[in-house]
Amino acid sequence: MRLALVPRERAAGTVSELLERDMVVRSAKISKRDGEVLVPINPAGEEHAGRLGLEVVEGEVHGRKDESPQRTVARLLSLPDDVMRLLPMRWEFVGDVAILRLDERLRPYEAAIGEAYAKALGVSSVCVDRGGVSGELRRPRIDLIHGESSESVRLENGILYKLDVRELMFASGNVDERARMGSLDCQGETVVDMFAGIGYFSIPVAKHAGAERVYACEKNPVSFRYMEGNLALNGVGEAVSPVLGDNRDLPLAGIADRVIMGYVGGTRDYLWKGFDLLAPEGTMHFHDTYKTREMPRALERDVSLAAGGREHEVVSLREVKSYAPSVSHYVADIRVYG
231 and 283 fall within a common domain: yes
Each residue's pLDDT tens digit, 188-242: 999 999 999 999 999 999 999 999 999 999 999 999 999 999 999 999 999 999 9
Question: The CATH number of the domain where 131 resides is what?
Answer: 3.30.300.110
State how far the Cα of 84 lies from the Cα of 112, in Å rounded to an integer. 12
pLDDT of residue 10: 81
Report in angstroms the alpha-carbon separations of 17 from 7, 56, 119, 328. Answer: 14, 16, 18, 26
| Position 157 in a domain | no
Of 157-161, 212-216, 294-298, the one with minimum mean pLDDT is 157-161
Question: The CATH number of the domain where 332 resides is what?
Answer: 3.40.50.150
Burial 276-290 (b: 16+ CB within 10 A, else e): bbbeeebbbbbbbbb
276 and 313 fall within a common domain: yes
18 and 84 fall within a common domain: no
| Position 18 in a domain | yes
State how far the Cα of 150 lies from the Cα of 139, in Å rounded to an integer. 14
Average predicted confidence (pLDDT) for the chain: 91
- Measured at the CA of 281, the angle between CA 276 and CA 285, to 5 degrees, comes to 65
Print the domain residue range for 10: 2-58
- Is residue 257 within 8 Å of residue 209, measured between CB atoms? no
pLDDT of residue 326: 95
pLDDT of 133 > 80? The answer is no
pLDDT of residue 112: 96
- Is residue 50 within 8 Å of residue 44, measured between CB atoms? no
44 and 86 fall within a common domain: no
Of 57-66, 273-282, 290-299, the one with minimum mean pLDDT is 57-66
99 and 14 fall within a common domain: no
| Position 64 in a domain | no
Confidence of residue 295 (pLDDT cuts 50, 70, 90): very high
